[in-house]
Amino acid sequence: MAHYDVPNRNAGYVKIDQADAIVKTIDDITSLSVTDISYGSHVWITFDPLKQWNVLRYTRSNMFVQSVIRDNTTKIITVTCNMRHGFNVGDVISISGIVNLSGFFKILTVDGYDFGIKTSVTDEPILEDSYLAAVGYFEPARFNDARSISPTEFAKLKVGNRLFLDVDENDRWEVLEKINSIYSSNLIDEYGFTQPVNAGVAVLQLIIRNQTIVSIPGSNAVVAYTDTFDGKLRSFQTLTAPDFLETRLLGKFGYVLNATPDEKWLFVGSPLVSGVGSRFQGDFSTTAFYNQNKFEI
């Protein structure tokens, strides 16, 4: 394991052919072109003066850019997304699909759906199509050990993705690579619908409950399937869109699925829906006063 509080620090146990790009610091990623690496690529950070060495995986987000506005005084470009991004100041992200604003950028400001960046390009950015304006980010590929990785995150790995573990069961470092995906036909025995249109747009596996959650947007439903003794999946419970939103959600319900770590709560998201009010009241504050049940649309 590399330590940065000693004179002879090192860049870790990564081999050159295990990384798609090598940079000294995380800020150096901004010197790369979005054509240099693709989604799923690994970037090896060797000697960042403020952090230990690391390996990051380049990932495409589910967000789209809704607007870009340049402040002529500060020169900061404010990028507004269609959902809360969760980025922090100092993070490095990518933007593609916007004229005069394509590349890797360091985030300077954050505020809900917005984040601020700067670019050396003086021409005004032009957003022609929101759905073509993609935002990418970097997630860690280095972990202390296998127990640091949740089963859900492990299941989301794509072929070619790597995990760099500092300590394995033999107290040695280890690099894991996903080399194959297993596909089974006719796995779901009963969809629960006569016409399961677009079944499987989103799939979530609940390890503790031994259930597989599948969205079926064309039927405005999310179905929980459970394993049976014959190895197939059968419908266990069906969640449908609220009646008053049924028309707006049709074909878009359940495009994003997630659950709490204890699998007690399931979250069904529909980020492509428009014209629906939000009950979101802002970030929770321990010093703020809240009226019980006061969450009007």
What is the pLDDT, as a whole number, of residue 229?
Answer: 58
What is the pLDDT, as a whole number, of residue 270?
Answer: 83
Q: Please tell me the distance from the alpha carbon of residue 136 to that of residue 142, in angstroms, as a whole number.
A: 19
Q: What is the mean pLDDT of residues 288-292?
A: 60
Q: Please tell me the distance from the alpha carbon of residue 20 to that of residue 5, in angstroms, as a whole number.
A: 28
Q: How confident is the model at residue 167 (pLDDT cuts 50, 70, 90)?
A: very high
Copy the structure tokens of residue 144: 């202390």
Q: How confident is the model at residue 148 (pLDDT cuts 50, 70, 90)?
A: confident
Query: What is the helix (H) or strand (E) element at residue 247, kind and residue range?
Result: helix 246-249
The closest alpha carbon to 176, from 162, 166, 196, 189, belongs to 162
Q: Please tell me the distance from the alpha carbon of residue 223 to that of residue 213, in angstroms, as a whole number.
A: 6
pLDDT tens column, 83-99:
888 899 999 999 998 99
Copy the structure tokens of residue 220: 């405005």
The closest alpha carbon to 126, from 104, 103, 97, belongs to 97
User: Bridge partners of 142?
Assistant: 164
User: In this structure, what DSSP letter does residue 215 have?
Assistant: E
Q: Please tell me the distance from the alpha carbon of residue 47 to that of residue 2, in angstroms, as a whole number.
A: 10
User: Bridge partners of 212?
Assistant: 205, 225
Q: Please tell me the distance from the alpha carbon of residue 216 to that of residue 225, in angstroms, as a whole number.
A: 12
Q: Please tell me the distance from the alpha carbon of residue 254 to that of residue 77, in angstroms, as a whole number.
A: 32
User: Bridge partners of 110?
Assistant: 115
Q: What dihedral do alpha carbons 11, 17, 23, 26 form, nearest 10°?
A: -80
pLDDT at residue 133 tops 80 = yes
**Amino acid, res. 29:** I
Q: Please tell me the distance from the alpha carbon of residue 53 to that of residue 207, in angstroms, as a whole number.
A: 32
What is the percent of the chain with per-residue pLDDT over 70, rounded to a whole number?
A: 81
pLDDT tens column, 259-274:
887 888 888 888 777 7
Residue keyed to tokens 């989301």: 156
Copy the structure tokens of residue 73: 């005084």
